[in-house]
Amino acid sequence: MPTTPRTVLITGTSSGIGLAAAVAAARAGWRTVATLRDTARAGALREAAAEAGVELDIRRLDVTDEASVTAAVDGVIADHGRLDAVVNNAGAGHLGTLENDSMENIRNVMEVNFFGVLNVSKAALPHLRATGGRLITVTSVGGVVGQPFNEAYCAAKFAVEGYLESLAPVARTLGVSVSVVEPGAVATEFVNKIGVDLEAGLDAGPYTGALRRYIDRTVEQFKEGSAQTPAGAAEAVMTALHADRPAFRIQTTDWARAFVGTKLADTDGSAVQDLTTTWVA
């Protein structure tokens, strides 16, 4: 057992799953380093910590900036002496389809959701090796099942899952556990950050009808009461932190398990295509 409290670094903690996971980890006795790109947006995080009666070490970390990542990880080691777990939660949603989207937008989605995970994981791995630690990444059911108008987002999440699935057995040889957590719809601000004004008239050219049908369906999924709470999704992160032998792939609800299971059993792709086509047709 460590002689000092175990330390976890969590990215993207300004709201949603990251905020809930930071509070839950602190409640469970972890020394929790809660990071976010802009510490001026830490008000909700500080309030949640105060309500829970826990302390958080709140620091700036921009996952797309290697210097920021290095400074944050080095600072944790300098101040706390160890790093036992990392939770990659920072990410950004995006709606678009190839013909209408810009390559700049697509690259930005990959930068945050894929390369950002790699930046943090690469900096943390030497320290996780030293503690026999855990590398946990919040992906999405969209990291397994491609979804209409989420082409860039799903591509980034597919890339994360493929990279980490490949890394996991290598890291295990040196005592580091690698897991991905796959939420479905979560009632967070996420759906409000996808870059589409749902109140404005949509103009996606020939794709306008399909996009409207997709958005109508998605808004219903993400409405509070229909979607999982951030705290519920954070429970799966806690499972990955505490299980003796955490699974590589952890879904957060029965719905997510069934949805991912459809893809994993779909050897010719027809089951997924039949399903997702109904979202836009």
C-alpha of 58 from chain center:
19
Query: Contact, 84 vs 134, CB < 8 A?
Result: yes
In this predicted structure, what is the pLDDT of residue 198? 57
In this predicted structure, what is the pLDDT of residue 1? 46
Task: Supply the DSSP symbol for 144.
Answer: T
pTM above 0.85, yes or no: yes
Task: Supply the DSSP symbol for 121.
Answer: H
Residue 207 known to be catalytic: no
Phi, psi of 280 (to 5 degrees): -125, -15
Helix (H, G, I), strand (E, B) or coil at 138: strand
Pick the CATH number of 7-277 from 3.90.226.10, 2.60.120.380, 3.10.129.10, 3.40.50.720: 3.40.50.720
Taking 50 as the pLDDT cut, the residues of the chain under it are: 1-2
Q: Which of 153, 163, 207, 214 does the annotation list as catalytic?
A: 153
Residue spans per domain, the chain? 7-277
